[in-house]
Amino acid sequence: MKKFIFLISLLSLLAIFSIAKELFYLQLAWIIIGFISFFFLSKFKTHNLQPFWPFIYLLTIILLSAVFFEPETRGSHRWLTLFFIRFQPSEFAKPLIIFSLAGLFSSFANIRFKNIFLFLAFFLIPFFLILKQPDLGNALVYLFIFAVLILALNFKPHFFILVAVIILLTSPILWNNLAPYQKARLTSFFTPQYDISGEGYNALQALIAVGSGETFGRGFGQGTQSRLRFLPERHTDFIFSSFVEETGFIGGFMLLVLYLFLFLKIVSYLRDVHDSFSRFFIIGIFSQIFIQVFINCGMNLGILPITGITLPLFSYGGSSIVSTFVSLGIVNGMRETDQQTIAIN
């Protein structure tokens, strides 16, 4: 796992240096902090914290609620300042919520159909707090994580029919709670050519960047869309487009192959752990990273609406980088702890 994380992080540094040199050292600092966190948590016996999952859940709710007491930033409440450190709680809440869900699910010896309503209530509190910030992208990530974890419970087919009905009935409520710009992003996805100066602008500029990269790219530092800033958020949400413009199809393909190997490595850890808590947590982290890569690359390629989701380990940003390293460190630690236990026995 470590080598794939290292290679993706290395490509991230190369991309940031090429498109936004002023952010290179900050990104390097976040990655170093991330690796320190990863190696520490790889040796830490996370199972010792399993009984405290209710307190971790409560802490997460407090963090997600605290952002509403902060001043708005670009029309949203997503940031929190503690001890002069400014971070995004919704990013760090990902491993915390997954940890809490794993603790909740594994606390039941036999999970029955009626328990789903408890699980749903448990999930909806942080989900709506994130949606209210508003942060549609991360809300969708949380929804996917929860859905995959529910699938892992192996319920009968009629349960999923009920879930589909609930989703259909609640969709109007979710739509009415979206901010106007979020609705515009979703509607403009289907007709970006009619809104090239509005919400469709980002999608079209991303496609231009990807297309102009062709097979081998324009070369590092030669991307016109990113360097001339036609491409918005070139170092965060649209860093994949920036990278493909400069490295071409070959560079983009290599990056996706590295993610594929990382996914396969995480999935392989499911064979190495033997307790339900670890299995649920690993499935949750896999779901989180997979859906973020899928949505981010999809919106950069114009096949999905723009929702403002970062590319894990690659996009610029301390909260996203460090929280992903923390998540993978816990996963690696669970596997190593289980292997050590087997060796001792």
Does residue 49 contact residue 334 with C-beta atoms inside 8 Å? no
Q: Which pair of structure tokens corresponds to residue 60?
A: 């997460």
Query: How many Å apart are CA 70 and CA 64, to the nearest integer?
Result: 11
Query: How many Å apart are CA 229 and CA 246, to the nearest integer?
Result: 14
Burial label for 4, CB within 10 Å (0-12, 13-18, 19+), is buried
Q: 3-class DSSP state for residue 86?
A: strand
Q: Confidence class of residue 137 from pLDDT cuts 50, 70 and 90?
A: confident
Q: Confidence class of residue 193 from pLDDT cuts 50, 70 and 90?
A: low
CB-hemisphere CA count at 13 Å for 192?
Answer: 20
Beta pairing partners, 76:
73
- The model's pLDDT over 255-306, given as tens digits with 9 standing for 90+, comes to 999 999 999 999 999 998 888 999 999 999 999 999 999 999 999 998 888 8
Question: What is the DSSP annotation of 10-63?
Answer: HHHHHHHHHH-GGGHHHHHHHHHHHHHHHHHHHHS-GGGGGGGHHHHHHHHHHH
Question: Is the pLDDT at 120 greater than 90, yes or no?
Answer: no
Nearest-10 crossing angle of helices 239-268, 200-213: 80
Question: Is the pLDDT at 341 greater than 70, yes or no?
Answer: no
